[in-house]
Amino acid sequence: MKRQLTPKDRLIVALDVSSEAEARALIEELKDEVGVFKCGLELFTACGTTLFALAKEYGVKLFFDGKFHDIPNTVAHACKAAVRQSVDIFNLHALGGAAMMEAAAKASAEAYGELKASGSLSPAALANPPALIAVTILTSMDAKALQDELKVQLPLAQMVPYLAQMAQRCGLDGVVASAQEAGAIREVCGDDFLIVTPGIRPKWAEANDQSRIVTPGDAIARGADYIVVGRPIVKAKDRKAAARLIVEELAAV
């Protein structure tokens, strides 16, 4: 699954807006500056599957941040639907357990195989099947919240690579995790396992509601494949300039 990525490829911009019009404007403005756009729950709830069509219209890569977490059968069918929508990356919660993740991986492979057999896939899609990745621990959570609120007694620094290993054993392609744990994940999962890191804040941006944050360059240096950036770009006065600053930082790593 290891992909050859340029600095621009590594930058995922979160479409943290609430309407199709706003999403369209962001994609149109930034499609030449970034590698992937992320559709999260806010935008998906507001616009539904029209966002998948919008990505196809502009020819951009899409990360569907649906964070599936349900019984294995339900998640398996959701994964099949995501693959059929031709998303490039999509995810589920590792805390859903091994049975759920195994069912998801199997269903995703079956759906992709059906598309491949139909002859409907583009050369790019044939070269890069959709990546199914697992959310480990949300970057808004810190060690204290994990232990005091969720009663998970395994330390955060151990829990995240543990979940990553479980996801890998279940047939997933990678994980979503803080860059603070990226090095530990690389040690146990190897170089062919994708690591997508949210909680990215350039030195010139505010932390907002993220707890475990790092800078773009530091995330890549620690072993991340992709970084997810939302408000530092979306809320910037000059979005293109903000995106270019981050890509330049990635190129310097």
The residues that are catalytic are 67
- CB environment 176-189: b (16+ within 10 A), e (fewer): bbbbbbbebbbeeb
Contact 36, 11 (CB under 8 A): yes
Between β-strands 11-14 and 36-39, what pairing exists: parallel, antiparallel or unpaired?
Answer: parallel
CA geometry: angle 100, 49, 116, nearest 5 deg: 65
- CB environment 117-147: b (16+ within 10 A), e (fewer): eeeeeeeeeeeebbbbbbbbbbbebeeeebe
Q: How far is CA 220 from CA 38, 46, 83, 209, 229, in A?
A: 19, 32, 27, 22, 13
Angle between the N-to-C axes of helices 156-169 and 182-189, in degrees from 0 to 180, rounded to the nearest 10: 40
Q: How far is CA 17 from CA 48, 64, 83, in A?
A: 13, 14, 24
